[in-house]
Amino acid sequence: MIRLLLVHDDNLVRCALASLLAVHEDFGVTTVSWAELTGGPAQAAHGEAGLWLLDVACPGSAGLAEAVARRRTEGAESAGLIVLAPAGRPGLLHRAFEARAQGYVSKDAPPERLIEAIRRVADGGRYVDEGLAYDFLSASRMPLTPRELSVLSLAADGAPVPEIARSLWLAEGTVRNYLAAVIRKTGARNRVDAIRIARTGGWV
């Protein structure tokens, strides 16, 4: 029996994916929202699952690192981690890789590929969907530094330069230099364009 914990923001999609998996009689599927996983009290189901299946395109998946940290404190360290990600958003894959996911399945893949990934990771292996290979390459060539990404991420939330400077303990001129570097490196036309490019790629 492979015990799966399926995490997605939307109940309808959770139920739909669970119904897709339910035809495999050796899968036991529990579903939760990202909010339940990261915000609520730890539940037995989180720890019991041998494999977590996470949709990292959900807004709630910003809590990925926290969820994985909690998984570890719950003693479920050995559980496998599979992420569902849309193509074209390498930043999401990067985040999942940092959380040490073993399986990566494109949301555009045929269901058979998800099943294959589940069996592979449940057996202790790794799985990378061919539909995401190009994004992994893009992720490895990301030109921005973590500090530049933090600055851009605050700017993307609408914070003005003085506020970004205060948040990160930087001088305002330094923040402006970081933003100028981001615009140059991403080939953006301006700050708004740089934010758009980074957001489309799933980086901020």
CB-based contact 150:174 (threshold 8 Å)? no
Q: Which of 5, 7, 17, 81 binds a copy of itself (CB under 8 A)?
A: 17
Helices of type H across 129-190: 133-140, 146-156, 161-168, 172-186
Contacts to a copy of itself from residues 33-72, by CB under 8 A: none
Measured distance CA(49)–CA(79) in Å, rounded: 7
Q: Which stretch binds a copy of itself (CB under 8 A): 6-14, 42-50, 96-104, 116-124?
A: 6-14
Does 196 bind a copy of itself (CB under 8 A)? Our answer is yes
Q: Which position has the token pair 């700050």?
A: 191
Helices of type H across 31-110: 34-38, 44-48, 64-73, 90-98
Q: Which of 37, 92, 156, 170 binds a copy of itself (CB under 8 A)?
A: 156
CA–CA–CA angle 98, 99, 103 (5° rounding): 100
Residue whose C-alpha is closest to residue 174's, from 148, 137, 194:
148
**Beta bridge partners of residue 2, listed in sequence order:** 27
Does 10 bind a copy of itself (CB under 8 A)? Our answer is yes
Residue whose C-alpha is closest to residue 81's, from 141, 137, 26, 37:
37
Does 197 bind a copy of itself (CB under 8 A)? Our answer is yes
**Beta bridge partners of residue 42, listed in sequence order:** none
Does 140 bind a copy of itself (CB under 8 A)? Our answer is no
Residue closer to a copy of itself (CB basis): 11 or 140:
11
Does 180 bind a copy of itself (CB under 8 A)? Our answer is no
Q: Which of 108, 116, 120, 172 binds a copy of itself (CB under 8 A)?
A: 108
**Beta bridge partners of residue 31, listed in sequence order:** 6
Does 75 bind a copy of itself (CB under 8 A)? Our answer is no
Q: Which of 160, 167, 173, 180 binds a copy of itself (CB under 8 A)?
A: 160
User: In the complex, what is the shortest distance from the CB of residue 6 to a copy of itself, in angstroms, rounded to a whole number?
Assistant: 10
User: In the complex, what is the shortest distance from the CB of residue 201 to a copy of itself, in angstroms, rounded to a whole number?
Assistant: 13
Determine the residue type at 26.
D
Q: Interface residues with a copy of itself (CB under 8 A)?
A: 9-13, 15-17, 19-20, 23, 84, 86, 105-111, 114, 155-160, 188-197
